[in-house]
Structure formats: C-alpha cells, structure tokens
Chain A
Amino acid sequence: MNNYPISHSPVNNAALNSRSNNKTPQLDLNISIEYQQFDLAIELAIPLIGITGIFGHSASGKSTLLRAIAGLETSLRGEITLTDTSLPSRTFVSRTLVNSERGLYLKPEQRQVGLVFQNSRLFPHLTVRGNLEYAVKRCKNNRLSLDEVIKLTELGALLDHRVNQLSGGQQQRVALARAILAEPKLLLLDEPLSALDRHSKTQLLKMMLNIQKQLNLPMLYVSHSLDELQQVCDNLLVLAQGKVVNFGNIHQVIHQLNNDNNSDIIHQQTSLSLPIKTFNNGHGLTALALNAHEDIFMVCDQTFEQQTHLRCFILASDISITLTEPTNSSIVNHLFGTIKQINHQQNNVLLTVHCGSQDFFVTISAFSQQKLSLTIRQQVYLQFKASAVRTFIH
C-alpha cells in the first residue's frame, strides 16, 4: 500500500444499506436527526481507509453528520459504531459511540474522535505551543511525540506565536496538529480549507495526505469543493437533503455525478489516478500511462519523489472531438475511443467516450453534436492539451 495515491478496491453501491459484520476498520452509521428543513437519515458502513470525502450542497447535512459522529449533535437517534485497530495487539475493536435505544451516548471527550473546524477554534489565551500541549496533556496514549507532529505540520518556527498573530493557513495547521496530538482513532475535517487562499489550500491538502499516510489515521473530509476532494480522497460520499445519494470509489462517484445533471454544482470531469511513466521529457511534459500502449501528457516539470501515481482530472469542457485523427495539431493528447453514452443537458451534450479501459467525459455544444452527427457506438478521436490535465497539489 505504499503506492500513492492509489485507488482502493471500489466500494460499489451495494455497500449502501448493507452492514458488514466482518471486523475491518469501519464506521457504521444508522442515524436520524430531525431538522426544520429536512431530516438527516443515514444508514451506511464507511470503510475507514485513507481519506473519505463527504460532498454535497450547503445544507445537505455534511457538517451535521460530522457533528453527530463527534458527539456534538445531541438530538440524535440511532446507532454509531466505530471499529478501529487497537494497538499494540493490532486487533479490531468495535466501540459503540451512540445507541439511542440503550440510552448510550458517549460524550465528545470519550469518543477518541478528532475534529478540525472550518474556523480553527484555537484557544486565544494560549500560544501555538500552548494549544498543542493542551491536546498532549489530555491524551491518554502519548504514542505521538510533539516534535514529530510539529515537523509534519511545519510549525517549528511558530511555536511561541500567539494564535491571533497567525494567518488563516497557519491557524488551520495548528488546528490540524492539535487534533492529531489528541491521537484520535478517526479524524473529521469540516471544510478546513474553505477560508484559505489557493496556496494555503494546496499546502494543507499535501499535509493531510502525508499525515494520513504517515500515521495511518483515517479521515472523513467534508468539503463543497469537488476539486479538493478529487485530489486526496479514496472514497466519496455524496449527500443531498440529509440522505446518501452515492458512495464509493472517488473516480466512480465523480463519473456518476457527471451524468446526474449536476453541472451547476460540479465541474464535469474525468477523474484519474495514473502511473507516472516518465518525468519531464525535456520539454516540461510528464507522461502518464493510461494503459499498456497509450500515454497522456501533462505539463509538469517537477519530479515526484517516492511517488508512482498521480491524481489528476480533465474537465469535460477541455476535451474536444474530431472524426479524423488530428495528426497536424499542436494538441498533444489524442485518444481513439467509442461513444458510449450521449446525455443532453440544456444547450450542451455530455458524451461518455470509452478509450481503452477508461471512460472519458466530454461536453460539446448541441450544435457541434448535430454538425458531426454523433451517435452512440460511433468511433471518434478525443483531443485535449497537456495543460488540460490538471492536478493542484503535487
């Protein structure tokens, strides 16, 4: 599992509503919360592997779900069970966090669940070091050293600062470090990047991935930005109106969202994790292996140490279609494929094109579709620039 970021075996929709009895690290939810606008009702087993994204509109119940797991939502009915690895024996232990029938309701401080809030909620009367030590003092295990976490979150130079002297990104790093130092079994992240600039976002996303890997700490990450989730998550849970709409492997779920007429909330895209074939080919392009015989090129002149795979996405609007092979084009990526699905969406058409073993998503205007008279099973060429292959945290 050292290959990163690797897509894990897909958790398909059959996982919905089925509650596994096998002891694997997972979070079993069967909860309902009554609300003014809608009722939150979720029955789901979430495998605690890597980072699980939770995506939805504002007021879809994402934050409420995290608060329920953390123990901050008191008007909750149902059951929450957390099965995690118990060190040092490495056996799996199930703990019931909530069981409303039995009247069992663990307090937040008893759950060993961490939460990083949208606004860092640092203690303003303490320095950065004071905030970190607050967690250390109350942690029963002390398996993690303060120095190790300071290194992971690059806080060394800030330890004696007052927290209100820090920038937004720095504050969130302190909040992340503080949450980790409490040594939770599960870390919840509630839109931790929403108030940050792009640079800080990228830095924090990298840090989250690195921490997840180094500490093997499962995370549930709520965001309304699919781009952020696409970059770091292994699985994705989509909520709407307090209900589970979709849950499974990140790429599969994103591809399903493309076809669900969600163009108002997401950028329709092809989401990929691809092996890196050659770094910088001398012209600032990196080749990714799409399959055994086809590569796609992206603009990237960095080298990726200890990294064999790259998470990237191509917006559906960045790909165009031609009927003949575009041999005289400046556009470097062209793939041959078969149209699998045509989905009319207002003035646009979303095409699903099967190339090799991978589905690509392409939006073209309805006008172009008529002009080329595209039909299902027709063979076409896709073309997109190297700069259309996007990734923003590497």
Chain B
Amino acid sequence: MNSDLQALITTLEMAALTTIILLIIGTPLAWYLAKMTSRFKVIIEAVVALPLVLPPTVLGFYLLIAFSPEYLPGQLWQQATGQQLAFSFSAIVIGSVLYSLPFVVQPLQKAFEQLGDSLLEAGALLGAGPIDRFFSIVLPLTKASFITAASLGFAHTVGEFGVILMIGGNIPGETRVLSIALFDHVEAFDYARAHLLSISLLITSMVLLAAIYWLNLPKKNSSKNLMVNTVREEKSSHE
C-alpha cells in the first residue's frame, strides 16, 4: 500500500503544479485568442486543441526526443539545472501542461469572448488600467469558468497515462503516478490493489465532474446566472 500512497502523492503534486502553471500561462493565452482577429488565430487554436485528438503516445514520443540530452531543449535544461530532463518529475509536469492545455484554455477563451469589451471599456473610462480591469471586472465575472478550467485541467492531468509512460517511465517517488501504478498491478495480476486504485480514481473523478456541472448549473435567482445574462443582453443589444 505504501507504494500506492507514494504514487498518489506524486500524482497530486504533479496535477497541482500542472494546474497552477496552466492557469498562469493559459489565462493570457486564452485572453490573446479571445481578442485576436488575425488569420493566425485558427492555427494557434488548432495547436492548443491538438492534445484533444492526438494519441498521447505521439505527443509523448516527440517530447521524449526533445527532452533527451541530444536535443536542444534537453541540453538547455541540463545546462541550467545539472539534471537530465527526460524521466524526471519536471518532464511529466511539462508533458502534462501541454497535454491538458486545451482543457484550461478553451473554457477561459469562451468566457472571455462572452464577456466582450463593453464592461472593460466602461472600466477604462472610470480610470481602471488593464491589470486593474482584469482583477476588478474580468476575474469576478468569469470566476465560474476559472474554476471549471482549473478542475478540468487537474482532473485530466490525474487521469493521464500515455504521455507519462513515454517521458517519465516508472520511477517511484519521481514519475510513478496512480495510472501507471494501476497498470503495474494489472501486469502483476494483483487485481485487488488494481480494484482499489480504480474505484478510488473513478469516484474522485465522478465527484469532481459533478461539482463542476453543479457549479455551472443555471440557477433561478442566482446572481451568477443573472450576471451572465446581463452581459449577454448587453452584447446582443450592442450588435
């Protein structure tokens, strides 16, 4: 059980770190995409959405090559940290960030597009600068989407298998996450432990998803719902 606990801790650490990094880079990326009008927008959107359709092993394969000491990203990492990138905790975090990117960027982009510019213009004319506007207008009005994005990014990272297997291997305490531990148990015909891990992952995912849907449920007289409607009315009456 001890090794499973270790795998759980590694998984949670990886997923938490990935989610934080995704929110930090996903927010400006989603903002940029929401405001972008150039033709390159579709290309960037396609790149962001790629992990949704690409077999994880394909992504993992290219990352494995890139992270190896023979290629530039791996070399640079080694020079900067003195450690090899492939088969490290850092590698699976980077892999997870790329793999879960669409799950964070897409809900945020949609929320920013829906919010539109009208309230931001109003804020600017009241003297609020861009950072101020983000924290005083955008964040409170898209809070639900941020929670959705973070939960989806986290849950998707927890469930990741192919990419981690390719670039992380199976090093206990470093890259051995729950999904890989489960695979090991099945390989070793240890179905009892496999059941335990599976059922706990299943229940956790179920609870997390239910929570997300509950959060996005249109509620009567809910201020959140009203406020989204107001923004929509504003948009439509403006068109």
> Chain A residues in contact with chain B, CB under 8 A?
70-72, 107-109, 113-115, 117, 119, 121-125, 134-135, 138-140, 162-164, 178-179, 182
Contact = CB atoms under 8 A, between A and B. Distances in A.
Which residue of A71, A114, A125 has the most chain B CB atoms within 10 A of its CB atom? A125
Interface string B125-153: 11111001000110011000000000000
Interface string B143-182: 0000000000000000000000000000000000000000
B147 to A, nearest CB: 15
A240 B234 CA distance: 27
B125 A70 contact: yes
Contacts of A122: 122
Given A117-B118, A134-B136, A164 B124 contact: no
6 contacts: A115-B122, A119-B237, A125-B223, A134-B123, A134-B136, A178-B126
A138 B229 CA distance: 27
B184 interface: no
B124 A107 contact: yes
Contact of B125 (A108, A124, A125): A108
A115 B125 contact: yes
B126 A125 contact: no
B121 interface: yes
A127 B213 CA distance: 27
Given A121-B118, A123-B141, A134-B136, 6 more contacts: A70-B125, A107-B124, A125-B141, A164-B229, A164-B230, A179-B125
A2 B183 CA distance: 87
A387 B103 CA distance: 67
A71 B129 CA distance: 13
A138 B128 contact: yes
Contacts of A163: 230
Contacts, number: 75
Nearest to B140: A125
Contacts of B119: 121, 123
A123 B238 CA distance: 16
Interface string B196-236: 00000000000000000000000000010011011101100
Contact of A123 (B129, B137, B237): B137
Contacts of B125: 70, 72, 108-109, 113-115, 179, 182
Nearest to B124: A108
Contacts of A113: 125
Given A119-B234, A121-B234, A135 B141 contact: no
* Interface of B, helix, strand, loop or mixed by DSSP: helix
A124 B126 contact: no
A109 B121 contact: no
Nearest to B226: A164
Contacts of A121: 118-119, 121-122, 234
Task: List 9 A-B pairs, minimum CB-CB distance, nearest first.
Answer: A124-B227, A138-B127, A108-B124, A121-B122, A124-B230, A125-B140, A135-B126, A182-B126, A109-B124
Most chain A CB atoms below 10 A, which of B119, B125, B141, B226: B125
A139 B127 contact: yes
Contact of B127 (A70, A119, A164, A182): A182
Contacts of B122: 115, 117, 121-123
Nearest to B117: A72
A124 B126 CA distance: 16
A138 B238 CA distance: 26
A138 B132 contact: yes
Given A117-B118, A119-B234, A135 B226 contact: no
Contacts of B121: 72, 108, 115, 117, 121
A125 B231 CA distance: 10
Contacts of A72: 121, 124-125
B126 A138 contact: yes
Contacts of B132: 138
Contacts of B123: 123, 134
Contacts of B238: 119
Contact of B226 (A109, A115, A162, A182): A162
